[in-house]
C-alpha cells in the first residue's frame, strides 16, 4: 500500500474526542450490571446450599452432578470433588463454566465488555485507553473463534433446564403449579431465546449457504433465526436477569425467607 | 430562531484550529446548509466537500459534536438554540483543508479485494439467481461510501500501525457481498484473515451505529465473515463439507 495514505498528518485537534453527550453512562451501567451479576453468581456458587426447594432446582446447580444432589433430575452421580485448601468443590463452578463460556464468547457480550471493561473503545469516536492493540488475533482472544462450540454446549443446557422446568410441575402430592414453576418456565424461555438468537446458531443453521434457492429448509431456518437475532441483545440481558432471579427465588424459598405460592 | 455558535475546524496539513461563527438558522436547515451559509457570508474560503445534499453521495462526512455524521442529514433542530456546535473533519484520514480529508486509504483497500470469480454458466449460456439468493447481499449494496464507518472504527482511528493489515468495515461488507454471492466460486479465506485482518475487529459495533444507510455491518457482514473463518475449525462443518463438496458445488 502506498505510504501516501498512511502516516500523513491528521487534523491537528488536540482534544481526545469532541463528544458532548453523556457517552460514559452506557459503559458504567454495563460495568455495574454485569459486575453485580458476576459477584452474585460467584457468591451463589460458593454456597453449595439452598439450591433446591422441592420441586425446584436452581439453574446454577443444574444438572445435578454429585451423588449428594437433592433433586430427582438426571443425577449424574459423580462423587463429591474435594480440593486442597478450599475443600468441597461446589458443582456450580463446573456447571456455570458451560453457560459462562457461552456468554463470555458471545458476540453481543464481547461488544459490551470490550467497551465497558477493556475501554477499547469506551464509546464510538472516543479513543482507546490502551495503546497496543491486537484485536482477536492473538492468544487468549483468538479463542473467541470457538464461540460455536460453547453454543453446542449451551443447547445441551437448554435441554436440561427444560427437563428441570417440567419437573417443577411435580410436587410431592402430585401435579401442581407454583410461582416457582412459572419462574423456572420463564427462565427457560428467556435462555432459549438468547441461545437460539445467537449469531453462531444463525450461521450453522443456514448462514453458511450461498445459494438459498437450492436449500429452502435452511433458508427458512436462517430467515427465522435472523429475525430472532435482531433481538439478541435484549435476550442477552433478559436471560441474564432471569437466570439470576430464578436462583434468588429458589434460594429464598429454600431458606424459608419467602413462601412459594401454589397456583394449582 | 436563536443564534447558534458553529465551532468549525479551519486549517490544513501544517496545522489549524477551531474558529467560531455565529449563525441564525432557518427552519428545516441541516448542518450542511449552515456551513454553506458561513461560506457565503463569513468565510468564503471555507473548504467543504459535498454533492447531493440528500444523503446519497456520501461526500459531506464530518464529525458533528464529535459524532461521525453526514452534514446533509443532520438537522439543526437536533440542537438547542444557543448551543455551540462543533464541526470537525473526519479525524481518521489525512487533512487536505478545513473539512476536507484525503480518503485515498479506502481506494487503496478497495483495490486489494479479490473480485468475483463466476461459476460456469448454465447450458443455455445464462446465469440464474433467485431473489432469496441475493436478498442478503443487496443490503450491502446500499453502501454510499461515505466512509463514516472507516472513520469511527477504532482499529483505523486509534492504531495507525494497523492500517496496512486491516481493511475496515466498509470493505468487510464488500468482501461479504462477494463471498456470499450465489455465483461466486473464489476462496477468500486467507485474504479475509491475513490481508483484510478480520481478526482485528472486536465487533464493538460503532460502524453499525454511524452508518447513514442503516446497514447492519457487524451483525450481517463482519460476524458472518468471522463465522465463515471459524468453519475451518469446526469438525461438524468439515464433515458436512466432505459430503456436500467445496463451495463451488454446494448449495
Q: Does residue A4 belong to the interface with chain B, where contact is any CB pair within 8 Å?
A: yes
Contact at CB, A209 and B164, closer than 8 angstroms: no
Q: Do strands B15-23 and A170-171 pair parallel, antiparallel, or not at all (unpaired)? A: unpaired
C-alpha cell at B24: 441564525
- pLDDT at site B238: 75
Number of domains in chain B: 2
Portion 179-218 of B in contact with A at CB < 8 A: 180-182, 184, 197, 199-206, 209-210, 218
CA distance B15 to B13: 6
Quick check: is B48 in a domain? yes
Distance from CA of A110 to the nearest CA of B (A): 7
Indicate if B78 and B114 belong to the same structural domain: no
The domain in which residue B215 lies consists of 104-244
Indicate if B74 and B122 belong to the same structural domain: no
CA distance B12 to A212: 50
Q: Find residue A88's DSSP bridge partners.
A: A82
Residue that is last in its domain, among B86, B101, B116: B101
What ipTM was reported for this prediction? 0.91
Chain B residues whose CB is inside 8 A of the A209 CB are 250-251
End-to-end CA, chain B:
60
The candidate with the shortest Cα–Cα distance to A95, out of A157, A188, A164, A168, is A157
Q: What is the pLDDT of residues B42-54, one digit of tens each?
A: 999 999 999 999 9
Indicate if B44 and B83 belong to the same structural domain: yes
Indicate if B89 and B54 belong to the same structural domain: yes
H-type alpha helices, chain A:
25-47, 91-105, 107-116, 147-167, 179-196, 199-202, 216-229, 232-255
pLDDT category at B237 given cuts 50, 70, 90 is: confident
Indicate if B149 and B234 belong to the same structural domain: yes
Residue that is last in its domain, among B85, B101, B117: B101
pTM: predicted TM-score of the whole model, two decimal places: 0.92
| Under 8 Å between Cβ of B71 and B55 | no
Q: What is the pLDDT of residues B178-200, one digit of tens each?
A: 999 999 999 999 999 999 999 99
H-type alpha helices, B31-180:
31-41, 104-112, 131-138, 148-152, 154-158, 169-179
CA distance A107 to A116: 14
Best mutation target, A4, A7, A18, to test chain B (most B CBs within 10 A)? A18
Chain B residues whose CB is inside 8 A of the A1 CB are 108-109, 112, 163-164
Indicate if B191 and B239 belong to the same structural domain: yes
The candidate with the shortest Cα–Cα distance to B161, out of A48, A132, A57, A202, is A132
Indicate if B222 and B140 belong to the same structural domain: yes
Quick check: is B46 in a domain? yes
Say how far residue B70 (Cα) sits from the centre of its chain. 12
Q: Out of B95, B154, B219, whose CB is closest to A121?
A: B154
Q: What is the pLDDT of residues A184-198, one digit of tens each?
A: 999 999 999 999 999
Quick check: is B123 in a domain? yes
| Under 8 Å between Cβ of B89 and B100 | yes
Quick check: is B249 in a domain? no
pLDDT category at B66 given cuts 50, 70, 90 is: very high
Omega of the bond prior to A63 within 30 degrees of 0, cis? Answer: yes
Contact at CB, A114 and B164, closer than 8 angstroms: no
The residue of chain A with its CA nearest to that of B16 is A12
Indicate if B116 and B43 belong to the same structural domain: no
Contact at CB, A110 and B101, closer than 8 angstroms: no
Indicate if B131 and B219 belong to the same structural domain: yes
Q: What CATH number is attached to the domain comprising B75?
A: 3.10.20.30
Residue B249 backbone zone (phi > 0: left; psi -120 to 50: alpha; other: beta): alpha
Q: What's chain B's Rg over C-alpha atoms?
A: 22
Average pLDDT across chain B, whole number: 93
CA distance A167 to A170: 5
Indicate if B54 and B143 belong to the same structural domain: no
Quick check: is B251 in a domain? no
Positions of chain A with pLDDT lower than 50, given as ranges:
none
Q: Do strands A174-175 and B4-12 pair parallel, antiparallel, or not at all (unpaired)? A: unpaired
Best mutation target, A5, A16, A205, to test chain B (most B CBs within 10 A)? A5
Indicate if B113 and B93 belong to the same structural domain: no
- Residues above pLDDT 90, as percent of chain B: 88
Contacts of A36 (CB under 8 A, 6+ apart): none
CA distance B121 to B127: 5
- Number of helices and strands in chain B (H, E): 10, 7
**Cα dihedral across residues A229, A230, A234, A236: positive or negative:** positive
Residue that is last in its domain, among B57, B77, B101: B101
* Predicted confidence (pLDDT) at residue B177 exceeds the cutoff of 90: yes
Indicate if B91 and B164 belong to the same structural domain: no
Amino acid at each position: 500500500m502506498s505510504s501516501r495514505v498512511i502516516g500523513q498528518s491528521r487534523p491537528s485537534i488536540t482534544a481526545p474526542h469532541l463528544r458532548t453527550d453523556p457517552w460514559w453512562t452506557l459503559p458504567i451501567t454495563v460495568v455495574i450490571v454485569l459486575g453485580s451479576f458476576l459477584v452474585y453468581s460467584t457468591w451463589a456458587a460458593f454456597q453449595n446450599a439452598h439450591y433446591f426447594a422441592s420441586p425446584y432446582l436452581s439453574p446454577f446447580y443444574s444438572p445435578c452432578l454429585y451423588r449428594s444432589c437433592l433433586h430427582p433430575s438426571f443425577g449424574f452421580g459423580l462423587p463429591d470433588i474435594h480440593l486442597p485448601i478450599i475443600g468441597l468443590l461446589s458443582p456450580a463452578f463446573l456447571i456455570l463454566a458451560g453457560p459462562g463460556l457461552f456468554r463470555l464468547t458471545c458476540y453481543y457480550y464481547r461488544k459490551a465488555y470490550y467497551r465497558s471493561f477493556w475501554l477499547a473503545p469506551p464509546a464510538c469516536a472516543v479513543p482507546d485507553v490502551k495503546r497496543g492493540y491486537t484485536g482477536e488475533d492473538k492468544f487468549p482472544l483468538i479463542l473467541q473463534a470457538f464461540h460455536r462450540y460453547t453454543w453446542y454446549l449451551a443447547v445441551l443446557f437448554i435441554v436440561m433446564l427444560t427437563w428441570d422446568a417440567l419437573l417443577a410441575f411435580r410436587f410431592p402430592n402430585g401435579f401442581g403449579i407454583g410461582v416457582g414453576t412459572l419462574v423456572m418456565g420463564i427462565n427457560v424461555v428467556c435462555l432459549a431465546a438468547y441461545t437460539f438468537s445467537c449469531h453462531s446458531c444463525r450461521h450453522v443453521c443456514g448462514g453458511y449457504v450461498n445459494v438459498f434457492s437450492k436449500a429452502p429448509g435452511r433458508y427458512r431456518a436462517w430467515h427465522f433465526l435472523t429475525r430472532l437475532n435482531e433481538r439478541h441483545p435484549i435476550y442477552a440481558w433478559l436471560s441474564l436477569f432471569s437466570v439470576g432471579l430464578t436462583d434468588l427465588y429458589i434460594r429464598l424459598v429454600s431458606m424459608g425467607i419467602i413462601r412459594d405460592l401454589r397456583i394449582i | 430562531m436563536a443564534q447558534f455558535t458553529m465551532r468549525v475546524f479551519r486549517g490544513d496539513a501544517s496545522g489549524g484550529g477551531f474558529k467560531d461563527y455565529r449563525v441564525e438558522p432557518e427552519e428545516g436547515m441541516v448542518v450542511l446548509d449552515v456551513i454553506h451559509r458561513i461560506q457565503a457570508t463569513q468565510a468564503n474560503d471555507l473548504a467543504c466537500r459535498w454533492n447531493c445534499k440528500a444523503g446519497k453521495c456520501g461526500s459531506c462526512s464530518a464529525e458533528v459534536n464529535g459524532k461521525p455524521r453526514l452534514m446533509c442529514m443532520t438537522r439543526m433542530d437536533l440542537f438547542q438554540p444557543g448551543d455551540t456546535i462543533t464541526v470537525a473533519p473526519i479525524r481518521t484520514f489525512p487533512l487536505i483543508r478545513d473539512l476536507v480529508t484525503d480518503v485515498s486509504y479506502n481506494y487503496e483497500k478497495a483495490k486489494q479485494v479479490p473480485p468475483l470469480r463466476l461459476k460456469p454458466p448454465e447450458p443455455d449460456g445464462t446465469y440464474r439467481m433467485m431473489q432469496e439468493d441475493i436478498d442478503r447481499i443487496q443490503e450491502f449494496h446500499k453502501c454510499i461510501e461515505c466512509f463514516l464507518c472507516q472513520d469511527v472504527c477504532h482499529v483505523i482511528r486509534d492504531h495507525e500501525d494497523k492500517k496496512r493489515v486491516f481493511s475496515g468495515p466498509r470493505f468487510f461488507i464488500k468482501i461479504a457481498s462477494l463471498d456470499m454471492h450465489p455465483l461466486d466460486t473464489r476462496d477468500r479465506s486467507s485474504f479475509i484473515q491475513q490481508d483484510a485482518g478480520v481478526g482485528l475487529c472486536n465487533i464493538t459495533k460503532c460502524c453499525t451505529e454511524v452508518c447513514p444507510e442503516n446497514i447492519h455491518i457487524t451483525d450481517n457482514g463482519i460476524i458472518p465473515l468471522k463465522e465463515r473463518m471459524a468453519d475451518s475449525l469446526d469438525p461438524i462443518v468439515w464433515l458436512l463439507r466432505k459430503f456436500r463438496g467445496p463451495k463451488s458445488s454446494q448449495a
